[in-house]
Amino acid sequence: MGNILLEMKNITKEFPGVKALDNVNLKVEQGEIHALVGENGAGKSTLMNVLSGIYPYGSYTGDIVYNGEVCQFQKIKDSEEKGIVIIHQELALIPYMSIGENMFLGNEQGRKSAIDWDKTYAEADKFLKMVGLTESSRTLIKDIGVGKQQLVEIAKALAKHAKLLILDEPTSSLNETDSKALLDLLLKFKQEGMTSIIISHKLNEVSYVADHITVIRDGSTIETLDKTVDDISEDRIIKGMVGREMTDRFPKRENVKIGDIAMEVKDWTVYHPQFSERKVVDGVSMNVRKGEVVGIAGLMGAGRTELAMSIFGKAYGTNISGQLILNGKEVKLKNIKDAIKHKIAYVTEDRKGNGLVLTNPIKINTTLANLSEICSKHVIDQDKEYQVAEEYRDKLKTKCPTVEQNVGNLSGGNQQKVLLAKWMFANPDVLILDEPTRGIDVGAKYEIYCIINDLVAAGKSVIMISSELPEVLGMSDRIYVMNEGKMVGEMAGEEASQESIMSCILKS
Amino acid sequence: MVSFNLSEVIKKYTMVIALVVIIGIFYVGTNGTILLPQNINNLLSQNAYVFILATGMLLCILTGGNIDLSVGSVVCFIGGIGAVMMSKGMNVWFTVLVMLLVGVAVGAWQAFWVAYVNVPPFIATLAGMYAFRGLSNVVLNGYAVSITNPTYLNVFGGGADCYIPDFFHGNGLNITCMLAGIIGVAIFVIGSLRNRIAASRKGYATTSAVGFYLKLVLISAVILFVTYKLAGYKGIPTSLIWIIIVVLAYHYFTTKTTMGRYLYAVGGNEKATQLSGINTKKVYFFAYTNMGFLTAIAGILTVARAASAQPTYGMFYEMDAIGACFIGGASAYGGTGSVFGAIIGALLMGVINQGMSIMGVDANYQKVVKGLVLLVAVIFDVVSKREKK
């Protein structure tokens, strides 16, 4: 083994109710490219946030040894001073500022009282050349493509005198040519002695650049593979990523008859609302039957949420084309109200951001999507509203003192139940559940699964979008696999396995 | 049943308690002058425009902390139109109708830009603030126009006779006024009791009995006290009737109707509201159009009280309304607040104004105090919310 540049020892990080990292160990050699792989939520980003000081020293346990000394970073500035620079998945550039301004944001050149703009742009141009960009640093960020923006991020990191570069999913928004260019750039830096850690879902890329691959699963390090010794084929990596035991975490569904097709989409294509040339959903066809749970698996950003929301009365996207067929009849949904009228419900993945009015009580949230049900002539029957809220509270076993309680004060699991209640009260035939168990504890998850079973037992159709493969496998009668806007696989629930889904995604 | 929890009560009724404390302070500071019948009468009729505007402003603020800066100018504009029309001898009721329609039209004009073109409300209404101030000058030709029509003045709270006449000719005590107070209390008590009985019969959770009856007694006492005081002066000012109608109607509207519910939902979480199939643009459009309507009512009352219209009327009215809402507990981010809260806020401001005037505090310092009260109220709101987390 070469010189160890960074060692993270027994890192444990807890969030309220969740152990995100459990005794994680990571060793990175000087001058290598080290890949970090794992499923969504395995803890990769958390680990990197610990390293860069986003989670300050003291909020986790364990040691970070960098360049031979133990580090206690309080904030990002501390780690950057040592040359550890992280480039996040979401680009952190300001569109209406120039490349140069962005690169030195928070690190302005010149004196405190007066920024030296000539120096700024000269320096910026120097670093841009290093990453192979020919643009002037006076160009505005919004005028260059995403691929180049990613290179600007790297140039920005170099300007901070990075010795250890951390890239979180650097190619997730890039096309193949740009991705290849970026990876080759990393290899070139390696030649010059730079050390990098790369987090990626794209295992072909990982195999291409990495010297070592550390696999993280459920907040623990599983193994570190060495390029020169181990087999680092994609199948081998996948095995490490998903090799967990399936236990009895899902309630049994018995005697549910699967009936006719309730909803079907054909050749569904959706474009990005702002960048209208970008296809987000690309020629997707799928269906769901009465009494059936259909899972949609895929990585974050695969276009699953966008597919669901575009079906839900064009709640997302522009230039939506394709057919939507409900109970054998083609329909065109003008808006969300129309979708609700046609008995479709979309239960958002972001319950706090898009789902609930946190400052309002449970009862008001419960009835919001179907207020006309408890109204006469636009006047709300508040007794009836109370009854409805109580009924769903009993049915879903929501834990709360009263239904007058503000939703903001409930736990995640109970909030999710209120959100489900809201859409069940809208009385839909097809429910699209987007990440229905995100961020809630195991017990509450089980209860949500039971609710899903009750729904299909009542003849409803459920489409469940989930990034947790065990959940998709445990709950679905049928599974679609989506990647980069396309459906890349369909399999029966009992035939599917984590390996088959992952390889569907990664080999598409 | 929820137990009677003192700290909860204090939290819920902070501003009411603050109002009582401040009245107490001024009672001592003015040797009781502040609670003289005439002063109570003045407090209500002088601030009529604040009550009306604060009600409308609350609806805008509910949608997400959005304010309407144009109301002061629009009050002046509409008042000007009315004064000019009446000075030309036009029919009073026709004039009032035109004033209301112009208000709605002005509101809809601004609402359109806010709701459908996404112009930030601050800017759309700032533009209105300039434009309608200018138009007021144009309408009034730069002069004061006086209003002499007795019907208009009497009905909308101006001149010496703008009181509900005493049909029973009480000696020194206006019996009609007292009777109205007693009937009001009776309706309030019976209504509250009926609701409570109905709720407990259906098995709903009710608030604690002690709290309920205490609230009932206190509110009844306040109503009787105020009507007693008013009866000792000239009776019920007509402007108070308009205030009561507007406040009760909008209280009902915000708590019982679907559109009222949507106002809160949009301010609480616009995205979630949209995804619940609600047309949020319509909600914004409604809030600002309605503001125009209520601004018209405030304009009608303002020029009636002054018995004239001048190009400078209505200056800073928007600030009084906004201040009242925030003091009354509306959130600067939208989604929370109530009509009664805004009214309490307006009363608090009014009492401070009047108290200091009676005590002879310099007008400039009065502004300083008002500013500080607003700041303290909002700090209190922010801090108490932080504690909850």
Question: Region A173-198: what's the mean pLDDT?
Answer: 87
Q: What is the DSSP string of B52-119?
A: HHHHHHHHHHHTTS---TTHHHHHHHHHHHHHHHHHTT--HHHHHHHHHHHHHHHHHHHHHHHHHS--
User: A349 and A455: one domain?
Assistant: yes
A307 CA to chain B: closest CA distance, Å? 15
C-beta pairs of B322-325 under 8 Å, 24+ apart in sequence: B322/B57, B322/B61, B322/B67, B323/B349, B323/B370, B323/B374, B324/B50, B324/B54, B324/B57, B324/B348, B324/B349, B325/B54, B325/B57, B325/B58, B325/B61
Q: Is a pLDDT exceeding 80 seen at residue B320?
A: yes
Question: Region A316-324: what's the mean pLDDT?
Answer: 90
Are B264 and A404 in contact (CB < 8 Å)? Answer: no
Are A371 and B261 in contact (CB < 8 Å)? Answer: yes
Tokens of A136: 């002037």
Q: Which residues of A touch B261 (CB under 8 A)?
A: 364, 368, 371, 380
Q: Is a pLDDT exceeding 90 seen at residue A288?
A: yes
Q: Which residues of B touch A368 (CB under 8 A)?
A: 261, 265, 272-273, 276, 278
Which of A242, A273, A306 is the last residue before a domain boundary?
A: A242
Does residue A213 contact residue A238 with C-beta atoms inside 8 Å?
no
Question: Region A224-253: what's the mean pLDDT?
Answer: 75
pLDDT of the residue at B387: 55
The closest CB to that of A336, out of B261, B275, B335, belongs to: B275
- In DSSP terms, which residues pair with A220 in a beta bridge? A217
Question: Which residue in chain B has the smallest CA separation from A334?
Answer: B277
In a domain, A282, yes or no: no
Size of interface A-B (CB pairs under 8 A): 86
Does residue A268 contact residue A322 with C-beta atoms inside 8 Å?
yes
Give start and end residues of each alpha helix (H) in chain B.
6-12, 14-29, 37-46, 48-62, 71-87, 92-116, 121-140, 150-155, 175-201, 209-232, 238-256, 258-268, 270-274, 280-306, 317-327, 339-359, 363-388
In a domain, A321, yes or no: no
Does residue A124 contact residue A139 with C-beta atoms inside 8 Å?
no
Q: How many angstroms separate the Cα of B128 from the Cα of each of A105, A107, B102, B124, B135?
A: 38, 42, 14, 6, 10
Q: Is a pLDDT exceeding 50 seen at residue A362?
A: yes
Q: Where are the domains of chain B?
A: 37-162+237-339
- Separation of alpha carbons B184 and B187, rounded Å: 5
pLDDT of the residue at B291: 97
- pLDDT band with cut points at 50, 70 and 90 for residue A248: low
pLDDT of the residue at A203: 80
Does residue A243 contact residue A303 with C-beta atoms inside 8 Å?
no
Q: Is a pLDDT exceeding 80 seen at residue B122?
A: yes
A316 CA to chain B: closest CA distance, Å? 10
In a domain, A371, yes or no: yes
Q: Is a pLDDT exceeding 50 seen at residue A246?
A: no
pLDDT of the residue at B1: 39
In a domain, A374, yes or no: yes
Question: Region B371-379: what's the mean pLDDT?
Answer: 88
- pLDDT band with cut points at 50, 70 and 90 for residue A434: very high
pLDDT of the residue at B81: 96
The closest CB to that of A354, out of B271, B279, B336, belongs to: B271
pLDDT of the residue at A452: 94
Quick: pLDDT tens for A490-506: 999 888 888 888 888 87
Question: Which residue in chain A has the smallest CA separation from B267?
Answer: A357
- ipTM of model: 0.79
Does residue A109 contact residue A116 with C-beta atoms inside 8 Å?
yes
Question: Region A355-361: what's the mean pLDDT?
Answer: 91
- pLDDT band with cut points at 50, 70 and 90 for residue B389: very low
Question: Region B353-370: what's the mean pLDDT?
Answer: 90
Question: Which residue in chain B has the smallest CA separation from A363?
Answer: B261
- Domain boundaries, position A403: 290-316+331-506
pLDDT of the residue at B152: 94
Are A340 and B277 in contact (CB < 8 Å)? Answer: yes
Angle at A261 (CA atoms; ends A260, A263), nearest 5 degrees = 150
In a domain, A441, yes or no: yes
Helix H or strand E segment including A392: helix A382-396
Candidates B289, B340, B260; CA nearest to B54 is: B340
Where is average pLDDT lowest: A282-296, A411-425, B372-386?
A: B372-386
Quick: pLDDT tens for A25-41: 999 999 999 999 887 66
- Report the interhelical angle of B71-87 vs B280-306 (nearest 10°): 50
Question: Region B118-139: what's the mean pLDDT?
Answer: 95
pLDDT of the residue at B380: 80
Candidates A479, A473, A478, A427; CA nearest to A449 is: A473
B132 CA to chain A: closest CA distance, Å? 34
- Report the interhelical angle of B37-46 vs B339-359 (nearest 10°): 130
In a domain, A484, yes or no: yes
* Better-scored residue on pLDDT, A506 or B372: B372
Q: Is a pLDDT exceeding 70 seen at residue A437?
A: yes
Tell me what percent of the residues of chain A surpass a pLDDT of 70. Answer: 97
Mark residue A439 as left, alpha or beta (left: phi above 0; alpha: psi -120 to 50; beta: remaining).
left
Q: Which of A314, A346, A350, A368 would best serve as a mutation to test chain B binding (most B beta carbons within 10 A)?
A: A368
Residue B331 backbone dihedrals phi, psi, to 5 degrees: -85, 140
Question: Region B313-336: what's the mean pLDDT?
Answer: 91
A295 CA to chain B: closest CA distance, Å? 22
- Enumerate residues 6+ apart whose C-beta is below 8 A from A328: A260, A261
Tokens of A70: 């133990």
Find the length of chain B: 389
- Separation of alpha carbons A312 and B338, rounded Å: 33
Q: Is a pLDDT exceeding 50 seen at residue A174?
A: yes
Are B274 and A357 in contact (CB < 8 Å)? Answer: no
- Separation of alpha carbons A399 and A397, rounded Å: 6
User: A235 and A298: one domain?
Assistant: no
* Better-scored residue on pLDDT, B294 or B378: B294
- In DSSP terms, which residues pair with A430 in a beta bridge? A344, A461
Q: What is the pTM assigned to this prediction?
A: 0.80
* Better-scored residue on pLDDT, A97 or A424: A424
pLDDT of the residue at B2: 45
In a domain, A322, yes or no: no
In a domain, A270, yes or no: no
Q: Is A10 helix (H, G, I), strand (E, B) or coil?
A: strand
Q: Is a pLDDT exceeding 90 seen at residue A17?
A: no
Q: Is B268 helix (H, G, I), strand (E, B) or coil?
A: helix
pLDDT of the residue at A160: 87
Quick: pLDDT tens for B150-207: 999 999 988 888 888 888 887 778 889 999 999 999 999 999 999 888 878 777 766 7
Q: Tell whether the torsion through CA atoms of A352, A353, A354 and A358 is positive or negative.
A: positive
Helix H or strand E segment including A185: helix A176-191
Q: Which residues of B touch A379 (CB under 8 A)?
A: 256-258
Tell me what percent of the residues of chain A surpass a pLDDT of 90. Answer: 40
- Separation of alpha carbons A247 and A455, rounded Å: 23
Question: Which residue in chain A has the smallest CA separation from B279?
Answer: A337
Quick: pLDDT tens for A474-492: 899 999 999 889 999 999 9
- The CATH number that applies at residue A58 is 3.40.50.300
Question: Which residue in chain A has the smallest CA separation from B195?
Answer: A383
Q: Is a pLDDT exceeding 60 seen at residue A1?
A: no
Q: Which residues of B touch A359 (CB under 8 A)?
A: 264, 268, 331, 335-336
Domains: count for chain A = 2
- Separation of alpha carbons A302 and A481, rounded Å: 9
Tokens of A308: 């669901």
